[in-house]
Amino acid sequence: MTVLHAPVGVRSIVTSLVAFFILASSIVFLLDRGQEEQVQMAVEHGRQEVQGDASNEERNWSRGRWVYDNVSRPLYNGLKCAFIFPEVACDKYGRKDVMYQHWRWQPHGCDLPRFDAIELLEKLRNKRLVFVGDSVNRNQWVSLVCMVEASIPDDRLKIRIFNGSLISFKALEYNATIDFYWSPLLVESNSDNPIIHRVEYRIIRADRIEKHASVWRDADIIVFNSYLWWRKQKDDMRMKVMYGSFEDGDAKLDEMEMVDGFEIALKKLTEWLGENIDKNKTRIFFAGSSPTHSWASNWGGEDKNKCLNETEPIYKTGYKAATTDYSLMATAKSFFRTLEPKGIHVQILNITELSDYRKDGHPTVFRRQFVPLTKEQIADPASYADCTHWCLPGVPDVWNEFLYGYLVHK
């Protein structure tokens, strides 16, 4: 048998090629394995980032920008909401531009949970949600009612009940109640009548809260708001705090700064929550400060116009009006932090900065007036324009998207 031998040079070349392919295959294998490990590390890192975002979710929601969206906004038709209040029904009362209804809040790096009225009503089945506070909190209550009532087409299955300081919306099919209770200064005060009160003259009773607390005691969810009434209407404005009672003959009135009164009210509220709240049943929220836009010079306008004829948000990132007091929310947080050792958590709805951008979102003169404004009065926005409350649909819908996100997704 004849054996054919390759020449020595050829054998060397073949041997080298085989060795090269073996080495290359090994390198490819190692690279593939390294890539798999890197992908796995990236996945794990991504999970860590998601977990980190979840722990800071509210902070992420509160930082972002307004995006014009005439496809998914507004979330409801204000003209068709039978429960809307005329003070915030701006398009009904003559506002022609409706751009304010089409802005969507887009947080940086994440999305707000998509609002689902049916899902919220299921979450509220056999439960009671109570908004407690002033007219801005009532603004948010009206917003939430309009956001859910459109999903209940049968008018017989939804009702509104007025009972003094308490207004109730009931979704009968779900046995769900969404209430608003007027308590602008949290504790008992001379402003407890929702119709008859004087904004510029305020007296609180430092040690009395039970009259109000008896209304929200059995609630499953409470949303407090108290900011507007602690702001000074003028630089030298002060308030009175009453200790004791006229009935017992030991009444004493002390005059003090508004912020000191705010701390007294928070102290009493915190004490009551710590002693009475069932932490396994009741979830508690405290809404952040709702900015006003009464000084147009804050964004380069003329103060005499206030916020009249504004049609777009402020676009400057991180804008904070000089007249928006962020310190009151820091004060509230410090009081609520004392409840944590008892297992009671008060979630702040951080809506201040996002609302600060929205100089365009207020009723101005386009709202129901007790006496219709004359042409001359309409032309005098400095005296008659409302730059405190919010048109609906509008900014408070986003506040409720925050609330929905916490209730349904956390």
Residues acting as catalytic residues: 135, 386, 389
Helix H or strand E encompassing 294? none
User: Cβ neighbours of residue 98 under 8 Å, at least 6 residues apart?
Assistant: 91
User: Cβ neighbours of residue 206 under 8 Å, at least 6 residues apart?
Assistant: 187, 241, 242, 243, 264, 268
Taking the C-alpha atoms of residue 158 and residue 175, their distance in angstroms, rounded to an integer, is 10
DSSP state letter for 305: G
Residue-by-residue DSSP string for 141-164: HHHHHHHHHTT---GGGEEEEEET
Taking the C-alpha atoms of residue 105 and residue 400, their distance in angstroms, rounded to an integer, is 12
Neighbours of 321 (CB within 10 A): 20
Taking the C-alpha atoms of residue 313 and residue 102, their distance in angstroms, rounded to an integer, is 11
Taking the C-alpha atoms of residue 129 and residue 178, their distance in angstroms, rounded to an integer, is 5
Give me Rg for the CA atoms of the chain: 29
CA distances to 174, 223, 266, 343 from 282, in Å: 19, 11, 18, 12
**Dihedrals φ, ψ of 109, to 5°?**
80, 5
List the structure tokens of 293.
């836009």
**Dihedrals φ, ψ of 16, to 5°?**
-65, -40
Taking the C-alpha atoms of residue 365 and residue 369, their distance in angstroms, rounded to an integer, is 8
Q: Which of 338, 223, 332 is nearest to 282 (CA)?
A: 223
- According to DSSP, the residues that pair with 377 across neighbouring strands are none
8 A C-beta contact, residue 288 and residue 206? no
Taking the C-alpha atoms of residue 80 and residue 242, their distance in angstroms, rounded to an integer, is 45
